[in-house]
């Protein structure tokens, strides 16, 4: 019997997909555990990182931890929130509260021996459905922020009733939520001011805010009326270490060996290719298992990754943004990608203007950098510098220019041949070096 037929590819490349083996992030998890155990919450959590760095998956792990420690988890994704008014934002939070509390209370009503107390139907603290919360909100006096505070400050008895320690409010893709001073709408301010005020107020349910999003979430936060650095512990998610990347990649693979077989050199090569970037671990893991399955369970080190794998990666990760750029912007991207100090993740307009091959003034560089921000290739960092939104953008840019140069070279060769007439040319033998270049992700 061919056992390979029954193998399901375990890797999960894709936004928010739970990986088969969650690696690393121990420091982040233990810090969160401490936050959950403090008696009075004064510190909240802000998780930032580029796309694919594992924010959503980490938030999922935090949720498991929080629920295990007896907290109620109320959360959502703010990706559709760019133009929310305060009123709409307040109602969204109430919808999430209603969903979260109903889930907890119903669950514990069903499993009476659980951590939370079961509730009786005749109890006046029945889980409040959304309509009841909305009525309470609408009848409360004041601005949307006063009304929201009023409703949330009354959740204490329900949280006590559920014998929960408190509520975690968790919002992912938080960079989408903005204040709009021009419209006099401050939904982001409202969210953090409401949580801060509940945290100052003894006697109401303990709560903790977890925000996660792209690095520019800072812009949205620092523009709020009362943001203080002290309010958040900031976690900037970076790549995994090599040993963590190895564990994330190897643990699911070793379960499949045999019947699959991957030579240790091939495994080392793939771990290097991922560079510790969580999305790439899942991407290359999935591609490798697919290729092993198609190839009778074994692969030569040189057979992976094929050009089609690299093309798929490139088109998934980078191409859409790249295709929206002009030639001039591409020239500047090339300058950035080949700047002398690529070990530093960020750069300024001045850095670009002072590169040897650059003929831009600082002001011109600023203009192009702003246009690249609008196209989503780079973003302004907290310190007014710039950085790429997609990890390894430098490598992808240089790969494109190298490909373009290769195409141009072969076009020139073809032209030369055509002009020279139909002379038999010896077929170039591909050197080991040029072969390696085609797969080497890290230049």
Ligand X SMILES: Nc1ncnc2c1ncn2[C@@H]1O[C@H](COP(=O)(O)OP(=O)(O)O)[C@@H](O)[C@H]1O
Positions that interact with ligand X (CB under 6 A): 12-17, 19, 22-25, 49, 51-57, 248, 278-279, 281-282
**Residue 54 Cβ, how far from ligand X at the closest point, in Å?**
3
51 binds, among ligand X, Mg ion, none (CB under 5 to 8 A by kind): ligand X
The residue (of 283 and 304) whose beta carbon lies closer to ligand X is 283
266 binds, among Mg ion, ligand X, none (CB under 5 to 8 A by kind): none
**Residue 133 Cβ, how far from ligand X at the closest point, in Å?**
29
189 binds, among ligand X, Mg ion, none (CB under 5 to 8 A by kind): none
The residue (of 10 and 259) whose beta carbon lies closer to ligand X is 10
Exposed e or buried b for every residue in 271-301, given b needs 16+ CB within 10 A?
bebbbbbbbbbbbbbbbbbebbbeeebebee
**Residue 171 Cβ, how far from ligand X at the closest point, in Å?**
13
The residue (of 55 and 147) whose beta carbon lies closer to Mg ion is 55
The residue (of 14 and 296) whose beta carbon lies closer to ligand X is 14
17 binds, among ligand X, Mg ion, none (CB under 5 to 8 A by kind): ligand X
The residue (of 151 and 221) whose beta carbon lies closer to Mg ion is 221
52 binds, among ligand X, Mg ion, none (CB under 5 to 8 A by kind): ligand X
Token readout for 315 is 């088109």
CB-side neighbour CA atoms (13 Å) of 154: 15
**Pattern 28-57, Mg ion, x by CB under 5 A:** ---------------------------xx-
22 binds, among ligand X, Mg ion, none (CB under 5 to 8 A by kind): ligand X
The residue (of 71 and 249) whose beta carbon lies closer to ligand X is 249
Per CB under 5 A, which of residues 52..81 are in contact with Mg ion?
55-56
**Residue 323 Cβ, how far from ligand X at the closest point, in Å?**
21
The residue (of 25 and 55) whose beta carbon lies closer to Mg ion is 55
CB 389 within 8 A of CB 214: yes
Determine the residue with CB nearest Mg ion: 56
**Residue 58 Cβ, how far from ligand X at the closest point, in Å?**
6
**Residue 289 Cβ, how far from ligand X at the closest point, in Å?**
14
The residue (of 90 and 309) whose beta carbon lies closer to ligand X is 309
SS (H, E, C) the chain: CCHHHHCCCCCCCCCCCCCCCCCCCHHHHHHHHHHHHCCCCCCEEEEECCCCCCHHHHHHHHHHHHHHCCEEEEEEECCCCCCCCHHHHHHHHHHHHHHHHHHHHHHHHHCCCCCCCCCCCCCCCCCCCHHHHHHHHHHCCCCHHHHHHHHHHCCHHHHHHCCCCEEEEEEECHHHCCCEHHHCECHHHHHHHHHHHHHHCCCCCCEEEEEEECCCHHHHHHCCCCCCHHHEEEEECCCCCHHHHHHHHHHHHHCCCCCCECCHHHHHHHHHHHCCCHHHHHHHHHHHHHHHHHCCCECCHHHCCCHHHHHHHHHHHCHHHHHCCCHHHHHHHHHHHCCCCCCCCEECHHHHHCCCCCCCCHHHHHHHHHHHHHCCCEEECCCCCEEECCCCHHHHHHHHHHHHHHHHHHHHHHHHHHHHCCCCCCCCCCCHHHHHHHHCCCC
Determine the residue with CB nearest ligand X: 54
19 binds, among Mg ion, ligand X, none (CB under 5 to 8 A by kind): ligand X
The residue (of 96 and 172) whose beta carbon lies closer to Mg ion is 172
**Residue 79 Cβ, how far from Mg ion at the closest point, in Å?**
9
**Residue 17 Cβ, how far from ligand X at the closest point, in Å?**
5
282 binds, among Mg ion, ligand X, none (CB under 5 to 8 A by kind): ligand X
The residue (of 55 and 400) whose beta carbon lies closer to Mg ion is 55
281 binds, among Mg ion, ligand X, none (CB under 5 to 8 A by kind): ligand X
Exposed e or buried b for every residue in 187-222, given b needs 16+ CB within 10 A?
bbbbbbbbbbbbbeeeebbbbbbbbbbbbbbbebbe
**Residue 173 Cβ, how far from Mg ion at the closest point, in Å?**
7
278 binds, among ligand X, Mg ion, none (CB under 5 to 8 A by kind): ligand X
**Residue 199 Cβ, how far from Mg ion at the closest point, in Å?**
26
Residues within the interface to Mg ion (CB under 5 A): 55-56
């Amino acid at each position: 019997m061919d056992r390979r037929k029954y193998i399901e590819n375990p890797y999960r490349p894709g936004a928010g997909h739970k990986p088969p083996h969650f690696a690393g992030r121990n420091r982040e998890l233990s810090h969160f555990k401490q936050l959950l155990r403090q008696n009075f919450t004064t510190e909240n959590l802000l998780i930032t990182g580029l796309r694919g760095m594992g924010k959503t998956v980490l938030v999922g792990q935090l949720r498991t931890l929080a629920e295990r420690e007896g907290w109620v988890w109320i959360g959502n994704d703010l990706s559709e929130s760019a133009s929310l008014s305060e009123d709409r934002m307040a109602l969204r939070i109430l919808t999430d509260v209603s969903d979260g509390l109903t889930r907890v209370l119903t669950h514990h009503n069903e499993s009476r021996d659980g951590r939370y107390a079961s509730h009786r139907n005749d109890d006046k603290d029945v889980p409040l459905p959304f309509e009841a919360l909305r009525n309470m909100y609408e009848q409360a006096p004041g601005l949307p922020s006063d009304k929201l505070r009023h409703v949330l400050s009354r959740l204490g008895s329900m949280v006590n009733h559920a014998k929960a320690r408190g509520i975690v409010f968790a919002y992912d893709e938080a960079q989408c939520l903005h204040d709009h001073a021009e419209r006099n709408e401050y939904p982001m301010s409202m969210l953090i001011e409401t949580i801060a005020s509940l945290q100052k107020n003894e006697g109401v349910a303990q709560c903790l805010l977890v925000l996660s999003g792209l690095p520019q979430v800072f812009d949205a936060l620092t523009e709020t009326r009362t943001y203080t650095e002290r309010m958040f512990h900031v976690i900037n998610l970076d790549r995994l270490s090599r040993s963590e990347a190895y564990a994330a990649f190897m643990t699911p693979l070793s379960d499949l060996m045999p019947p699959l077989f991957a030579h240790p050199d091939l495994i080392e090569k793939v771990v290097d290719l991922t560079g510790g970037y969580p999305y790439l671990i899942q991407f290359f893991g999935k591609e490798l298992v697919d290729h092993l399955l198609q190839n009778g369970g074994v692969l030569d080190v040189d057979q992976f990754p094929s050009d089609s794998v690299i093309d798929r990666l490139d088109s998934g990760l980078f191409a859409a943004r790249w295709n929206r750029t002009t030639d001039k912007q591409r020239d500047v991207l090339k300058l950035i990608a080949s700047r002398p100090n690529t070990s530093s993740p960020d750069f300024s307009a001045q850095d670009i203007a002072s590169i040897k091959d650059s003929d831009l003034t600082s002001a011109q560089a600023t203009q192009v950098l702003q246009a690249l921000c609008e196209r989503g290739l780079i973003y302004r960092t907290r310190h007014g510098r710039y950085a790429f939104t997609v990890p390894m953008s430098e490598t992808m840019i240089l790969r494109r220019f190298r490909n373009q140069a290769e195409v141009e070279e072969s076009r020139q060769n073809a032209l030369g041949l055509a002009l020279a007439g139909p002379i038999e040319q010896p077929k170039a033998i591909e050197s080991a070096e040029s072969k390696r270049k085609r797969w080497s992700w890290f230049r």
